[in-house]
Structures are given as C-alpha cells and as structure tokens.
A and B are shown apart, each in its own frame.
Chain A
Amino acid sequence: MTKKILHAVVVGFACWMSQTAWAQFRVEVSGVGLTQLPIAVTSFRGDDVAPQKMAAIVLADLERSGQFRGVEQASAVMDETMRPDFSAARQKGADSLVAGSISRLVDGRFDVRMRLWDVVRGQDLGGQSFAVQSDDLRLVAHRLADFVYEKLTGDKGVFSTRIAYITKGSKNYNLWVADADGENAQSALNSPEPIISPAWAPNGAQLAYVSFESRKPVIFVHDVASGKRKLVANFKGSNSAPAWSSDGKSLAVTLSRDGISQLYLMDATGGEPKRLLQSNSIDTEPSFTADGKTLYFVSDRGGSPQIYRMPVTGGGPERVTFSGSYNISPSPSPDGKWLAYISLVNGAFKLHVMDLATSNVSAITETVADEKPSFSPNSRLIIYATQQKGKEALMTTTLDGRVKARLAGQNGDIREPDWGPVQR
C-alpha cells in the first residue's frame, strides 16, 4: 500500500517538476480529474532553439482539458522518426507518448512533425506535419494537441479555438481575441467607454457586443479579421445582451424601447426587431441552444431573477432554476446536456452546473465572485470570469470542477469571456 502511495507521490512530484521546468507557462492547472490518461509529451527535437516550445504548449493544452496527466520521460532527445522504448515509457506510467521535431526550412518557415504512440500496445497511432511561418507555430501546437486529444478521447479538440474577453484599464477598455489558452491576444476594439457581453457568431468570424461609446448601450456586429463593424441595434433606451441563433442569421437581444427590458429577435445585419415575449418584468440574457430549438433567458417575473427557457418557435416559458433567490447568466452546453449559470449563495456569486436530464445541480468553484460562464464547443470545459486575490481572472474548469486552469491575463482587470466555435 505504501509503495502505491510512494509511486503516486513520485509521479505527482515529477508532474509538478515537469510543469515548473517550462516556467513560461502562465497557465496554472490545478486539481486532479477522475480519469486522466497518462501521457508522455517529450520535448520536440529542436524545441530548445525554436521560437515556440511546441511540446510544452501541447502538454499544457492536454492538461488543461482535465483529461490528461503529463508523465515525465527520460531526457534523451526523441523525434517522430524514432521508435520509443515502450517498456521504459510504461515503467514511468505513460499509456501514450508524443514525440516530434521542429526545424527551420531554407525559406524561413518551420517544419513541424509529430507522432503519437500507444505505449501499452506498442503501436503508431499516426502523426501530423506542418510547414508554417513563425507566427503560426502556436496554432500548429494547438492543432497537434487537438489531434492527440481526438485520437485518445474520441471527443473533438478545442485547443485551436479562440476566446474573446474584455479588459478594463485605467483609461480604456479593450475587446480581445485570443487563443483558447489565453495567449496570442490581439485587441479587436479599444474604447474609452465600457464594452460588455461579447458573443461569437457561429461562423467564428464575427463578434457581437454592447458598447457604451455613444453614452448609451448599443449593439455592434464586428468582423474580427477586417475590423469592420456595424451598428445593428440603437433603439430608444438600452440595447444589450446579444445572442446568436445557431444559423448565425439572427440575434436575440434585450431592448428597453417599450419601457422595460424585454427580449426581441432581430436580423443580425440590423432591422426591425420582433418581440419574443411580453412581461411586466425584466427579461434578459437570452441564450440559444446549439440545436436552435430552445432559448434560455433570465426573468424576474416570479419576483427574483431566475432562469427560464422557451421553445424558439413559440410557446410558454418554463422555469428552470428553483433553488436560491438569484440565478442568472445561463449557458447551455452545445451537446444539450448541461446548463452552466451563476447563483447567489450566502452572498457569494458562484458557478453552478445543472444536469438537464436530472435537474441535479452542482456548485463547482471555491471562488465567490464568478461571472459569465461559457461552454467550450465540445461541451467539456467552461470558461468563466472570477476574482482571485482581489484581481479579476479568467478560468477554465472541467464540468465536475476537478481540474481548473487560470488563463494568461492581460494588464488590467479581465472579464466577460466567450468561447468561440471550432473552425476547421
């Protein structure tokens, strides 16, 4: 028994050591998942002199998913052409092994190659190769991680997706587009006034958001690649909470044009909105399910803010949350099985996940100022904003709350994340 514990401690220590060795991560992963596949991701031949440490990025991606645990390997240099010493790898506790190389081509691009091995069966599970400019190396590493993840879990990888989020500086606000690990952030919008509620279009090319630049909240649709943006909702009063329909053609929005915040549906290119519901209460935070059939939203028609859902084709709303007096920010998972939301419990705003089949609810964080959950496109992770040590931070978590990662932060408080779709 003690031998097992000792083994676990040694493996745990080795994992910790292998993480701190790549100190340039600013992704801090903590927690242990129920079933984590042990994998050895060996340094790529050429990593030490390459602009990006490919193996480190791949390993960080896999560990952030919560479904993998990195296993230290012998320091001998390996690449994708060498058959690994499987028994040595098995002895270290790895079930799979990744090896690769990165080398500079004559034309200045980088040649990246990788192979995945099943250590237990001693089998070659396939490989990938890319020739890219230096700027695209991180994306290549994410694609390699997607390949490994998909081969070994059967789930779709989300490592080469993008996230959007907002930072507040002392004098301005920025809307950022970054890789799913928080790195490689580029500012899509810089404004002296607040920006809130960024929402990726299903095509991953546009963001809808609320801007206060004209001293009232209005909704823009913004093409990320070109910077071109269109003011789509500037009706009398406040315009906010844009949510894309699954076909990308419409936006559900909250408008106060009729005297109170209510839900409307409008064309994503602008035009006359159609009222979705009539109530004398606040209706806001619409969120479509991925199959396009159901709209979740927040309403205080019952006296306090709760989450409801209604069929998109029409029909009465049905209340979804019954526990607690303040439930907001619904985010249904793309696979239709879960609902993430924020619930006020004993003065703390806490991320909750509901199993929609059973209505079972779990609180999955220890923090007390959680906001704005958003599911990953494969429904396996949730990104959310919270506060740690008084500073705002973005976190990802597995649905059971066991494995969490804090994402690389920009300067300034960081909030309002939205996870973009898979684009392949």
Chain B
Amino acid sequence: MRKIVLMISVSVLLAACGSAVKLDSVPVEDKAGSAVVPAGGTAPSTGVGQGGVVSVDLGKANQDSVMQSANRLVYFDYDSFVIRPEFQSVIDAHGRFIKANKTRKVAIEGHTDERGGREYNLALGQKRAEAVRRALSLQGVDESQIEAVSFGKEKPAVMGSSEAVMEKNRRAEIVYR
C-alpha cells in the first residue's frame, strides 16, 4: 500500500513538473530579432529578468503555416518559361521568407502538361524551375538555399487532357524541404 501511495505521489510530482508550454504554441515571427511576447506578459526590456520561455518550434508544418496564405504555385503558358506578372508577388513573398530563414532549403519543382516526350518535358520543366530560381536569386536569395529540379510530366497536379487541366499542370512549385 505504501509503495502504491509512493508511486502515485511520484507521478503527481512529475506531472506537475511537466512543461506548461505546448509544442504548438505561438510560432516564431518571420522578422529576425523580434521575440514573441507571451500572452499577458510584458516584453523583457534588456533580456534580463524573469520573462516566460520563448518556444521555438522547428516543426515544418508550423513554420510553413506562415507561408500557407502565400501561394506556392507559379503557372505558365504553353511552351513558355516566362513568369507572368501576376505571379511576381508569389515569388516576392517566398523570396522574403527564404532570405529571413537562412537555414531553410527550398526546392523549385518544375512541371509540364502531358503532351510530348518524357525527357524533353523534363528539360522544359527544368526551365520553368530555373526561371523561378533566377527570379529568387535576383531578389538576393542565396543560391545555396535553392535547388531547381524538374518532374517533367511525371507528376501532374490534375489528371485529364482538357485545356483547363493542362493549364493547372504547367507549373513550378516552391517546396520547403
């Protein structure tokens, strides 16, 4: 009986010592250098003082939630690698994020629609990925953080052969790895 009481009290004690901060708490801001203010607390003035624990979450899904509202897709016209003006803002948003997160690696995945040979389409998809990579590079993104690769026609976003479907497959995807 005493052993059981001991075990129960030890468990209760350990539970009480458990971290009160959950792993999916408030994410780190994308601007370097600004700390997250714990709800209800005051911002530490010099870093000294009792302030709460700042949670740094390396979980990919969580960091990407910042970019979720930002689109990851750039679409292209048939036989084209030109980035249409309406997608410049997508690239700009990712460019800013990547520059601010210097440890993140990003793949630009280029795709084509289903028409044509597999290897030639691989090369066409590559040109689309390279176009986005160059645009990011022009923004000042470090080359070592981005890799342009191609899936050619092997991984369509949408199945089917209509013009509407093919439009959705001619794309470059920005993927955080």
Residues of A within 8 A of B77 (CB): none
**B119 engages A240 (CB within 8 Å):** yes
Interface range on chain B (Cβ under 8 Å from partner): 20 to 34
Select which of B120, B149, B154 is within 8 A of A285 by beta carbon. B120
**A194 engages B116 (CB within 8 Å):** no
Within 8 A of B (CB), among A242-278: 254, 256, 259-261
Q: A216-B147, A260-B127, A282-B124 are in contact. Are A371 and B117 (CB under 8 A)?
A: yes
**A237 engages B155 (CB within 8 Å):** no
Residues of B within 8 A of A240 (CB): 119, 122
Q: A238-B126, A329-B117 are in contact. Are A212 and B147 (CB under 8 A)?
A: no
Q: Contact mask B75-118 → A, CB, 8 Å, 1/0?
A: 00000000000000000000000000000000101000000111
Select which of B119, B130, B151, B154 is within 8 A of A256 by beta carbon. B130
Interface range on chain A (Cβ under 8 Å from partner): 20 to 34
**A282 engages B120 (CB within 8 Å):** yes
Give Cα A349–Cα B117 distance, bound, in whole angstroms.
9
**A260 engages B130 (CB within 8 Å):** yes
**B130 engages A241 (CB within 8 Å):** no
Interface of B is mostly: mixed
Give Cα A240–Cα B107 distance, bound, in whole angstroms.
17
Give Cα A350–Cα B109 distance, bound, in whole angstroms.
29
Residue of B nearest to A298 (CB): B120
**A328 engages B130 (CB within 8 Å):** no
A305 within 8 A of B: yes
Residues of B within 8 A of A241 (CB): 119, 122
**B147 engages A237 (CB within 8 Å):** yes
Measured CB to CB, the closest approach of chain A to B51, in angstroms, equals 41
Chain B interface (Cβ < 8 Å from any Cβ of A): 107, 109, 116-120, 122-124, 126-127, 130, 147-152, 154-155, 177
Q: List 20 A-B contacts (CB under 8 A).
A: A196-B118, A196-B119, A215-B149, A216-B149, A217-B150, A217-B151, A236-B147, A237-B126, A240-B122, A241-B119, A254-B119, A254-B123, A261-B122, A261-B126, A261-B127, A284-B119, A284-B120, A328-B120, A349-B117, A372-B118
Chain A interface (Cβ < 8 Å from any Cβ of B): 194, 196-197, 212, 215-217, 236-238, 240-241, 254, 256, 259-261, 282, 284-285, 298, 305, 326, 328-329, 342, 344, 349, 371-372, 416
